[in-house]
Amino acid sequence: MAVLKKIAVLTSGGDAPGMNAAIRAVVRRAIKEDIKVVGVMRGYDGLVKGDFVPLLSKSVSGIIQLGGTILKTARSKEFMTPEGRQIAYNNLVENEIDALVVIGGDGTFKGARIFTEEFNFPTVGIPGTIDNDLFGTDMTIGYDTALNTVVEAVDKIRDTAASHERVFLIEVMGRDAGFIALRAGIACGAEDVLIPETPSDLEGLHEKLTRYIDTKKTSSVILVAEGDEEGGAFEIKEKMSKFKGDYELRVTVLGHIQRGGSPSAYDRYLASRLGIGAVEALIDDQRSIMIGMINREVVHVPFNKTTKHHKTIDQKMVDIVEILNA
């Protein structure tokens, strides 16, 4: 087993609150073993361009509470090509870097898996995405903060909905997964939640809203995952107009506010544990794996599993929404 002398860390894909806490943990754990750390600026793009910066203990001081990522993030068309990945590998070798830690989501890990297969380069991933859609971990870094952001926003919108006696369709992020919408919907008492994983019955929703009006309930909040089969909130509003219900629909798209902000206590804790786990996995000569957490225990999940398997919605959560709105 080769002795690690220097590792690199990068963030890729959409930013997620807690990424900085993960960077901090990687740096501090590596330094404890006298391993040097360099940060790769702007994800895989920086790997191709050789944009490396040394990271010392003081470099990561005072960043645990910051949203976003101090290493920045960007897409890289070059890294998607064999030629680009060859350049990236050459840059790592020329800078005497022995291993790589990547922080990101599904796309980040797919790139890391291909890179590891091509060059047998020790690479470990840390799940950082608000979508919480990665197989092999109960929670991803950023998900908890995004949930809290959504619930806080929905609580405020509900005040307006009640005052004006309106129905609000509130669109949340999640790509093609409904984890944010479903759990946030339960937490904020949404009257319904529309997610990609279950068929959306717009006629049934119309009937439910009509029943509410009959019982003098004049305002409601419906959460819509951006990847729902019926479309986003604006498309659903347009489709529901054909029912000519005796209710007034309004749309709010929460957008990128869900990705920003100071990470929650849990996301800081999760990022710290996974960051330490990533370095310890590399020290133990592990490669091509994601560091996840299941039942509060750190686990190692092969990249080919976390990128090829689909994380499923817990049907009990769907049932809870129905029970609470019976």
DSSP 8-class letter at 128: B
Instruction: Kindly report the three-state secondary structure assignment for every residue of 168-230.
Output: EEEEECCCCCCHHHHHHHHHCCCCEEECCCCCCCHHHHHHHHHHHHHCCCCCEEEEEECCCCC
CA angle 232, 234, 238 (to 5 degrees): 115
Catalytic residue among 45, 106, 131, 267: 131
Residue whose token pair is 């999940």: 301
Residues 6+ apart with CB under 8 A from 227: 174, 175, 176, 177, 178, 196
Which pair of structure tokens corresponds to residue 182? 């479903």
Tell me which amino acid residue 158 is. R
Q: In what order do the strands lie in the sheet with 192-194?
A: 192-194, 220-225, 167-172, 249-253
Active site residue 228: no
Which pair of structure tokens corresponds to residue 286? 């592990």
Separation between Cα atoms, residue 262 and residue 251, nearest integer Å: 26
Q: Give all strands (DSSP E) within the chain, no chain letters.
A: 6-11, 36-40, 52-55, 99-104, 123-127, 167-172, 192-194, 220-225, 249-253, 289-294, 297-302
- Residues belonging to the active site: 131
